[in-house]
Amino acid sequence: MDMTLTEDQSMIQDMARKFAQTELAPVAEKLDQEGDRALFLKNLNSLAELGFMGLNVDDQYGGAEAGTVVFSLAVTEIARACASTAVTMSVTNMVAEVIQAVASEEQKKRYLPKLCSGEYPAGGFCLTETTAGSDPSNMKTTAVLEGDEWILNGAKQFITSAEYAGVFVVWAVTDKSQPRGKGISCFLVENNIPGLSVSKAEKKMGQHASATNEVLFENCRIPKSALMGELNQGFKVAVGELAGGRIGVGSIALGIGQAAMDYARDYITERQQFGKPIASFQGLQWMLADAFTDLEAARLLLMNAADKKAKSQPFSKEASMAKLFASEKANKACYTALQLMGGYGYIKEYPLERYARDVRITSIYEGTSEIQRVIIARELLREIA
């Protein structure tokens, strides 16, 4: 793989970096502590205007057609400034991609322009349930066809951006007689329709500005045409899209880790003890070297996975490797950075404690580190079967 970015890729990365530094970084702490929803939505709209809500969507639907590599680069830059904004951007792109890949032409024309333009502030990915986290095939939400309508009943948990999503991609059991995972279908469900309700946002450890809600379906009637893709074939759609989503989460982790280490590096060159900058002590230099080496390795793994996806090559194993490594090493990098800052790293006046809170979830959502190891091992063994 040629790691040299094209002119267009570099331009979009620079655009994301500039927006992150000028618009997001100055307000990230305010969003984290105060949860200014209007400001958060304003920033999402600005991202849409820049083309960042449909980076891998065709131009005919309002997308940027920039590709998966650019998606990873852009998410990383946004996450360096505000992880909450980055996760909303990542999930919205994920929703747009699954619609483009599976939906009918009529559905694409109806929903993709609204996601890409910002008319819909975000998209929602409704897969996880209380009993269906690491094992999504164990979902209990059902969809029953009655005349020309599907009736949805069930609850989806931990849904990013649910309270301001314009449309949800929803998975539900449509044939209980089939084995687990075989009778699941996928639907496009608009927000604010009768029978659909969004619970209040969860109070989380980190990524405070990003809303995470439960979505409830109580005899929620949707048109027969809301079915996306083939009946009873929705589970493989979910599995395939999760692999792409892991590139996004790995990129978020990388951005947070890079921000933490950059801040700590600047700090140790200024902080003095024993009459000289603490950056002159070998012990701290080695901590710096190890963390930056890990983050660079994470970046290369993400670029490899993104490149394979962009070329329509198998990438599930590579995406899991990248997500596993990036999230684990970014967590470690944030704690290393906090340690380098000493007591100041523990004080809210400095961003290290926010980075440490924000990064923690990256080794959990879109598949825990343990699940990533299961996927990687399964693919490795399949290669020699």
Please state, as a whole number, how many other Cβ atoms lie within 10 Å of the Cβ of residue 342. Answer: 14
How do residues 76-121 score in pLDDT, each as one tens digit? 999 999 999 999 999 999 999 999 999 999 999 999 999 999 999 9
Q: What is the DSSP letter of 24?
A: I
- Domains with residue ranges and CATH for the chain: 7-120 (1.10.540.10), 125-232 (2.40.110.10), 236-384 (1.20.140.10)
Tokens of 356: 């440490």
pLDDT at 385: 87
| Closest C-alpha among 83, 75, 23 to residue 354 | 83
Please state, as a whole number, how many other Cβ atoms lie within 10 Å of the Cβ of residue 201. Answer: 16
H or E stretch including 299?
A: helix 282-310
Catalytic residue annotation: 366
Average model confidence (pLDDT) for the chain?
96
371 beta partners: none
pLDDT at 1: 57
Asked if 90 and 75 touch (Cβ cutoff 8 Å), the reply is: yes
Using alpha carbons only, give the angle 137, 141, 142 rounded to the nearest 5 degrees. Answer: 105
For tokens 């996975």, the residue is: 305
For tokens 């990383």, the residue is: 76
Q: Which region, left, alpha or beta, applies to residue 281 given φ > 0 means left and ψ of -120 to 50 means alpha?
A: beta
Q: Supply φ then ψ for residue 185, to 5 degrees.
A: -125, 170
Tokens of 167: 């449309």
Sign of CA dihedral 313, 249, 202, 129: positive
Tokens of 269: 């060159």
pLDDT at 3: 78
DSSP, collapsed to helix, strand or coil, labels residue 196 as strand
pLDDT beneath 70: ranges in the chain: 1
Tokens of 179: 């084995």
User: How many helices (H) and strands (E) are present in the chain, helices listed first?
Assistant: 11, 10
pLDDT at 228: 97
| Closest C-alpha among 335, 329, 327, 205 to residue 264 | 335
